[in-house]
Amino acid sequence: MPVHCRRCIVLIVAALLAFSTDGCRTPVSQSRVITFPGSAVGAEAEVLRRQLHRFMENHPDIKVVQRPTPDAADQRHQLYVQWLNAGADDPDILQLDVVWTAEFAAAGWLLPLDRFAPDINSFFPSTVIANRWAGTLYALPWFVDVGMLYWRTDLLDHPPRTFDELSHQAAMVQSRAGLPFGFVWQGARYEGLVTVFLEHLGGFGGCILDDAGHVMVDAEPAVQALTYMRDAIYQNHIVPSVVLTWQEEQTRFAFQNGQAVFMRNWPYAAALLTDRSTSQVSGKFAVALMPALSTATPTATLGGSQLAINAHSDYPDAAYAVIAYLTQPAQMLERARIVGQYPARPALYTASELASTLPLPPEQVRRIIEHAVPRPVTPVYTELSDILQIALHRALTQQQSPTEALGEAARAMRALLTKVELDPESRAQQGQSHAEQ
């Protein structure tokens, strides 16, 4: 093509572009496109679409594009790792499970949020703790999930406050009412078993890792907690051995069908239990904190979703504007009304809108969330959990004693932390090195 023809084409294209943007509210060159992965179906997808549409109406210079992703946590995690490990700048915003934040932050995949000065004091403290790594905030809580004890109000006057009381009530009602199960929980070898153990563990005064990062699963409180869980199956017979194959839905069906006095589960079950067409316990249950020794504090495992920014995002300020909008009180209340997910802001639990929306009394839920404990905030949580799952299941299936199983788990966990230099001694040395520099 002759040179003068190419010049003509360039001039024509430039003129057309100028004409197409002239007089528009937002020039194409100034538009910032933010990508947001999430569920593409159901009420959760619908409320997100609605909220993002309102956001874009208020921010015409920012376009938010949703990226459909799997709802299954393990599949979503795998997809995120593939994207982020490749240094991709898309997606800009990440919806994280509560145990992923430290892993992604330590890998350098998340943008620190402290520069935006979010009002972290307006969120439940445990949700903020779960979203910090090495003293830096990397995500904001979007909604909260928490483990809780469901109990039969038609069979009991009050929930148990101690483990001995739970055992007594479960055995008494089980015998008196002819129920097959006293207490059901998630005992299959998966993450759910760790969350159940953590609630027993905290109730006996223990922890998985202490504040300094020392492994504590072979300490006396941990052995006592696991021994109690084992004895509830084989000695007291209040927990059926079949729970060692159960996850959340199997326990819900057992409680929903009127077969159990107590159930440990997440808040999602409440709405299903209130459905009179399918539930035999509709109007006959309530929720409470898991029991604890008189010398310990009741513990609820923290779950939920967080929102973070891809460290390689081209528009981090715009991405944070989206996150700030989605975590505002109005959006959290709307999400609670439409999806039934619990707000991460304690002040919202006095809102009349929340009381008329949720199947559980907000004040009861708030009290449980105030006792929520994050699982260990560490980049290698998944590996630690895998080790612990094996040990717990071996003890609960009587392949090993609780002492033996937890002793092996503790040694493997300490070896892992040492290998990746996340043990307390290595971290202390790293801190000293940084201080000297």
Residue 27, pLDDT score: 43
Count the residues in the chain: 437
Cα–Cα distance, 80 to 207 (Å, whole number): 29
Tell me: do 222 and 359 sit in the same domain: no
Answer whether residue 28 shows pLDDT above 70. no
pTM: 0.91
Tell me: do 110 and 257 sit in the same domain: no
Residue 40, pLDDT score: 72
In a domain, 437, yes or no: no
Q: How confident is the model at residue 14 (pLDDT cuts 50, 70, 90)?
A: very low
Tell me: do 293 and 190 sit in the same domain: yes
Residues of the chain above pLDDT 90, percent: 85
Answer whether residue 235 shows pLDDT above 70. yes
Q: Tell me which H or E stretch contains 163.
A: helix 163-177
Amino acid (1-letter code) at residue 157: D
Tell me: do 185 and 68 sit in the same domain: no
3-state SS, residue 387:
helix
Q: Taking the C-alpha atoms of 289, 373, 236 and 180 in order, what is their torsion angle to the nearest 10 degrees? A: 60
pLDDT tens by residue, 350-383: 999 899 889 999 999 999 999 999 999 999 999 9
Residue 436, pLDDT score: 55
Residue 332, pLDDT score: 97
In a domain, 121, yes or no: yes
- The whole-chain average pLDDT of the chain stands at 92
Tell me: do 41 and 110 sit in the same domain: yes
Tell me: do 82 and 227 sit in the same domain: no
In a domain, 13, yes or no: no
Residue 38, pLDDT score: 83
Q: What domain range is 319 assigned to?
A: 29-144+302-373
Range from 66-70, 241-245, 250-254 carrying the lowest mean pLDDT: 66-70
In CATH, what number is assigned to the domain containing residue 261? 3.40.190.10
Apex CA 15: angle with CA 9 and CA 18, to 5°? 140
Residue 397, pLDDT score: 98
Residue 7, pLDDT score: 39
Q: Which residue has the higher pLDDT, 238 or 428?
A: 238
In a domain, 414, yes or no: yes
111, 131 Cβ separation under 8 angstroms: no
Tell me: do 356 and 387 sit in the same domain: no
Residue 5, pLDDT score: 41
Number of compact structural domains in the chain: 2
Tell me: do 137 and 271 sit in the same domain: no
Last residue of a domain, one of 327, 358, 373: 373
In a domain, 191, yes or no: yes
In a domain, 173, yes or no: yes
Structure tokens at 412: 């493997």
Query: What would the mean pLDDT of 59-76 be, rounded to a whole number?
Result: 92
In a domain, 413, yes or no: yes
pLDDT tens by residue, 325-345: 999 999 999 999 999 999 999
Answer whether residue 61 shows pLDDT above 50. yes
Answer whether residue 119 shows pLDDT above 90. yes
Tell me: do 326 and 352 sit in the same domain: yes
Q: How confident is the model at residue 22 (pLDDT cuts 50, 70, 90)?
A: very low
Query: What would the mean pLDDT of 69-74 be, rounded to a whole number?
Result: 88
Cα–Cα distance, 127 to 124 (Å, whole number): 6
In a domain, 11, yes or no: no
Range from 73-77, 221-225, 414-418 carrying the lowest mean pLDDT: 73-77
Tell me: do 230 and 184 sit in the same domain: yes
Residue 75, pLDDT score: 93
Choose the most confident range, by mean pLDDT, from 9-13, 26-30, 367-371: 367-371
Tell me: do 117 and 218 sit in the same domain: no
Tell me: do 187 and 307 sit in the same domain: no
What residues have CB less than 8 Å from 69, skipping those under 6 apart?
A: 37, 38, 39, 40, 76, 79
pLDDT tens by residue, 135-183: 999 999 999 999 999 999 999 999 999 999 999 999 999 999 999 999 9
* CA within 13 Å, CB half, 61: 8
Q: How confident is the model at residue 435 (pLDDT cuts 50, 70, 90)?
A: low
Residue 166, pLDDT score: 98
Answer whether residue 11 shows pLDDT above 90. no
SS3 string, 271-312, reads HHHCCCCCCCCCCCEEEECCCCCCCCCCCEEEEEEEEEEECC
Residue 286, pLDDT score: 98
Q: How confident is the model at residue 433 (pLDDT cuts 50, 70, 90)?
A: low
